[in-house]
Amino acid sequence: MLKTIDFGETDRILTLLTRHFGKVSVVAKGIRKPTSRLAGHAEPLTHATYQLARGRNLDVLTGAESLALYRELREDLGGIAAGWYIVELADRFAMEKAPSAPLFDLVESALRHLTAGHVPALVCRWFDLHLLDRTGFRPELGHCVQCGEGPAEEPNAWIVEAGGLVCARCAPGSTVGALALSVRALKSLRFLLVSDFESASLLRVDEALAAELDRHLRSFLQNILDREIHTSRLLDELARLPRPAAAIL
């Protein structure tokens, strides 16, 4: 379940991410009545089995049984904000009425890792890269997108309009400042992209590297979506709260 919108007196429109039919909007009639037996199974950030009936415009939810409520995730502010971030991106990237098992499995996996208590920023950056990969927007990390050469062990540039890595020879003015791609950030991006989460969780990232990975992936995602990611702001606010130095990423 990705999101809900209240509709009419007691109804709600639910946006579901499904394995076989992509993104689906359904109407849940009477779900806002206190007696609704569907309500507990139809919250955002819930993994559930849903039964639907064909409706005139939208399909109608007739039954729901939750498989995972991700309870531990909901008890932690950083965890739930990361959960909202994941479903916001899934909602933006998912196609309607198209099989989407790879995306579905990725979302389910990311929410499970958050629930298991992994550092939210690491889960989000791993999710970002695999989301781009599975939806056909994988950034170029192996070669310069302009000259095709492998990058030297020096700061290169990250140019989202070009598709990712641009070497220092092709973009000499962009290897310092916001577009600079450090050697360790490039290596971390490559590692996260080819790793399952079990391996990715071994990556050690300090505050500066975490900020650089966040900046580069956010600009890449926003360039594709052509708009801001709302929940990034919430995550920024949370990042500004005081917390132990060891818990950055």
Contact residues toward Zn ion (CB under 5 A) are 144, 146-147, 167, 170
- Would you state the torsion angle of the CA atoms of residues 109, 114, 116, 121, taken in this order, to the nearest 10 degrees? 120
- Closest CB to Zn ion among residues 87, 144: 144
Contact yes or no for 52/60 (Cβ under 8 A): yes
CA distance linking residue 144 with residue 163, whole number of Å: 9
Q: In the complex, what is the shortest distance from the CB of residue 190 to Zn ion, in angstroms, rounded to a whole number?
A: 17
CA distance linking residue 63 with residue 227, whole number of Å: 35
Q: In the complex, what is the shortest distance from the CB of residue 169 to Zn ion, in angstroms, rounded to a whole number?
A: 5
- Closest CB to Zn ion among residues 120, 164: 164
The CB-nearest residue to Zn ion is 144
Element containing residue 155 per DSSP (H, E): none
Q: In the complex, what is the shortest distance from the CB of residue 219 to Zn ion, in angstroms, rounded to a whole number?
A: 19
- Closest CB to Zn ion among residues 63, 172: 172
- Closest CB to Zn ion among residues 144, 235: 144
Q: In the complex, what is the shortest distance from the CB of residue 156 to Zn ion, in angstroms, rounded to a whole number?
A: 8
Q: In the complex, what is the shortest distance from the CB of residue 168 to Zn ion, in angstroms, rounded to a whole number?
A: 8
Q: HSE on the CB side for 216, CA within 13 Å?
A: 29
Query: Helix, strand or coil for residue 171?
Result: coil
CA distance linking residue 26 with residue 44, whole number of Å: 13
Q: In the complex, what is the shortest distance from the CB of residue 151 to Zn ion, in angstroms, rounded to a whole number?
A: 8
Q: What's the order of all strands across the beta sheet hosting 156-159?
A: 164-166, 156-159, 180-181
- Closest CB to Zn ion among residues 159, 167: 167
Identity of the amino acid at 221: L
- Closest CB to Zn ion among residues 18, 146: 146
Tokens 């309500």 -> residue = 39
CA distance linking residue 85 with residue 232, whole number of Å: 7
Contact yes or no for 27/21 (Cβ under 8 A): no
